[in-house]
Amino acid sequence: MTLQDHLLRRIRAEGPLTVAAYMQDCLLHPELGYYTTRDPLGSAGDFTTAPEISQMFGELLGLSLAQAWLDRGSPTPFTLAELGPGRGTLMADILRATRGVPGFHDAAQVVLLEASPTLRAVQAETLSAYEPRWIDRLDELPKTPLFLVANEFFDALPIRQFLRDGDGWRERLVGAQDETLVFGLAERAAQPALAHRLEDTRDGDLVELCEAGTAILDEVCTRIATQGGAALCVDYGDWRSLGDTLQALRKHTHSEVLQTPGQADLTAHVDFEALATSIAAAGCRFTRLTTQGVFLERLGITDRARALAARMDDAGVETLIAAHRRLTHPEEMGNLFKVLGIYAGDTLPPPGLDA
Ligand code: SAH
């Protein structure tokens, strides 16, 4: 059975699906989901990410987290966690860059939240030297101070979409017309979670809600507030998102969201205001939302590139310059991607970010 067949059957049995239910099946259906069945990263895959572009990204995030650990008195033991680690490249770069930080590796238990068995196997290979532990749910995190990273994780979580209609909202749904998946709209209803969006939207505007992201951050922040620690969340999006940002990416080009379920990556822009609201509600502080370009420059990416270039041939230097540009330039990933730091009450924010 294809995922398309499964979805058509499900819609016939249950009625139209929310966009979130559609995304969840497309990305993580146990046998047919996009992430469950493949490693989508890299030039031969469907998309690429900052850690796959250059080792400098993970090195600098690692040093920011290690400094945050030192600033909190080097708590031992502690949990070094990643949400959605892909190929394990980011965590491998974090660990290599922090080798020289006294006590850091001995105190760290590496914990990975990963839903895809295929990617877990890749991570096991990349990180075999560090004996990582995989978890399915965040309540399995050890009860020690938590230092956590997430890159392009929140954009992969299911979102619901709502169209403004007077004082209410019509939820966007996925239904079936014959053998084709089509978008439709539910009846108008009140949405208490969107009360604040009645201020900045008009009839016909579309807004998105990522309930899974809020629930995950709630657990992360409750840990950081009670056990100590810090977190760095990097993703594309803005403080408040407006409009339909759901997109499908296949072989590095955009495709139709409903056309190839399970065959394309589905993502949506992250609404950082919604994340910040759940951070504050769980008793943590959040940093100023900072562009990836500014964050990496503050942490010294240009000096790091110079140091790496000194040991490279001309072709290597050219690749390195292109990677530096791609990660930091405002017209590449520099402005689109943002960094939000999480920390607890009376400590400093992670380096590279402002209170
Ligand atoms: N952080 C990596 C990979 C980003 S792709 C990088 O920067 O290269 C998104 C990752 O999140 C994949 O590893 C995917 O399998 C994982 N993922 C997506 N939804 C998830 C969920 N609900 N729970 C756990 N992992 C998830």
Q: Report the Cα 94 to chain-centroid distance in Å.
A: 17
The two three-digit tokens of residue 204, written as one number = 């016909």
pLDDT at 36 over 90: yes
182 CA from centroid of ligand 1 (Å): 27
66 CA from centroid of ligand 1 (Å): 23
> pLDDT tens digit string along 297-322?
999 999 999 999 999 999 999 999 99
- Asked if residue 301 belongs to a domain, the reply is yes
Other Cβ atoms within 10 Å of 190 Cβ, number:
9
Please choose, from the candidates 227, 191, 222, the residue with its C-alpha nearest in 3D space to the C-alpha of residue 208.
Answer: 191
Note down the domain range covering 225: 50-158+212-249+264-339
| Residue 207 CB-half CA count within 13 A | 23
H or E segment to which residue 144 belongs: none
CA 54 – CA 51 distance, rounded (Å): 5
Q: What is the pTM of this model?
A: 0.97
- Asked if residue 206 belongs to a domain, the reply is no
pLDDT at 344 over 90: yes
Mean pLDDT of all residues in 17-34: 97
What is the secondary structure of 245-293 as a DSSP string?
Answer: --EEEETTEEE-TTTSTTTSEEE--EEHHHHHHHHHHTT-EEPPPEEHH
Dihedral angle, C-alpha 194, 195, 200, 206, nearest 10 °: 30
- Asked if residue 56 belongs to a domain, the reply is yes
Beta-carbon contacts of 63 under 8 Å, excluding residues fewer than 6 positions away, are: 97, 98, 299, 351
Give me the pLDDT at residue 45, please. Answer: 84
194 CA from centroid of ligand 1 (Å): 27
Q: Confirm or reject: Cβ of 46 under 6 Å from ligand 1.
A: no
Average model confidence (pLDDT) across the chain: 96
Give me the pLDDT at residue 44, please. Answer: 79
Q: Confirm or reject: Cβ of 35 under 6 Å from ligand 1.
A: yes
pLDDT at 43 over 90: no
Q: Which amino acid is at 144?
A: T
165 CA from centroid of ligand 1 (Å): 34
Beta-carbon contacts of 334 under 8 Å, excluding residues fewer than 6 positions away, are: 291, 292, 293, 294, 327, 328
- Asked if residue 113 belongs to a domain, the reply is yes
Q: Any idea what the CATH number is for the domain that residue 271 is in?
A: 3.40.50.12710
CA 91 – CA 298 distance, rounded (Å): 21
Q: Confirm or reject: Cβ of 51 under 6 Å from ligand 1.
A: yes
> pLDDT tens digit string along 162-213?
999 999 999 999 999 999 999 999 999 999 999 999 999 999 999 999 999 9
- Asked if residue 296 belongs to a domain, the reply is yes
Instruction: Give me the number of domains the chain comprises.
Output: 1
> Which atom of ligand 1 is the closest one to the Cα of 48?
8
Q: Report yes or no: 275 and 340 within 8 Å, Cβ to Cβ.
A: yes
